[in-house]
Structure 1
């Protein structure tokens, strides 16, 4: 069976600031650093029971794998519940809900004592550390972040499969217009390349993150993440340095998301269906060229 054209993301046991900037940041290539956070208190302290004890009463936003609907706002949560109740669901394996973009510094300030900001030459946004939780087999649709940030993604507990593509692959990915996602009916963990033939021409990266691994995702990289086992991750971000990416991020934040929300209200589900159709039409034209 045909598979995606993916190469393994390089791995480093540790790395200096100079080597990171030269070998990965400047050429905008991903890397996994395996032993970077072993001196963090979080490395040994952070687990599901710890979060249940320290933040169990906090209400968290939850997302599942349902497709986008005109009834949903941009990145609107599908449900909310106290963290302790969500963790119980994770521990008994009975949910596909994920926590997505939970700002731990805002909600639980004392957690900032458990981790450090990597000194690798990027100015990280210290008010935007984000946590992500997921149960076994839950996943995110292939997407890229609205701010096209440089991201350090640190994984805890269990394993998580990662697939990445850079922005040069957009024309092959069935990108949804006026959006940050690809067609949601593409299973990137096992894609039907006869149904989605343009994917045969895309070249990307893959890896599996384990406890303590830190993945560097360059500016605007597409990412698909699937929890092999229940686990959670911390993302630290820096604004894009490339002027084009920065301007695109500003457009996404100030224009695109509001335009998309307005069209959902005006045209309803027909807007979503039109965008899905255009993803196929535009991709087919691109590969035809």
Structure 2
């Protein structure tokens, strides 16, 4: 069955969903996006995603396409029209369509708004049961990774480089030797009873799932350190994991071919996933 999408005010079958070739998202990657997880037909962490969307739009001096109440209604309508029980809703806002120019379009140019669904398992995944393997690659992205833009070529290349090395995903590493984050997720290690993840800055995306996991870890009595860690430190860790809207908490079992612990998902990662899933489902809207 064809998916129903949302494009600039209209609900359309995916085959009819189109934007202008002059859209700045296409020409300039001049856009931002969010991905909200759906479980049981309900939205996970929706308020957090809307807060980050506001921030991204503000940092790029981009107009909001509509109100947050309208965005919530659109999300719910897409869930209904696509009978989506479990999966994702992708939202993208661009600066709109205008003649190609490095300068911004004239004031009053209408932003473009596109949403679509992607059905698939979220709670039960093979990657969670077995854990994932990561490979480290150089971080080639621009300096404002805290803005969730549609400029995703560097992370895509990083993931493909990792797959060529036999891994599932990449951990990107800065010139200083410290891990920044995964191709589409935040990175953590567990060492000496402490959960370590890079502190918030322009160097990483301010993950919505990350914020919940860091808070929940502290609330459950875990010692959390927000600081950079090196590749060598990661390889010597007891365990590791990633977080994202779609992966929730997923264990990492090896880095560059070096097994962590006994090479199976660690207890802290398992516990954090259990706690996060329980709270998220309870708060889903």
Higher RCO, 1 or 2 (CA under 8 Å, sep at least 6)? 1
**Given the two structures, how large is their TM-score scaled by the length of structure 2?**
0.28
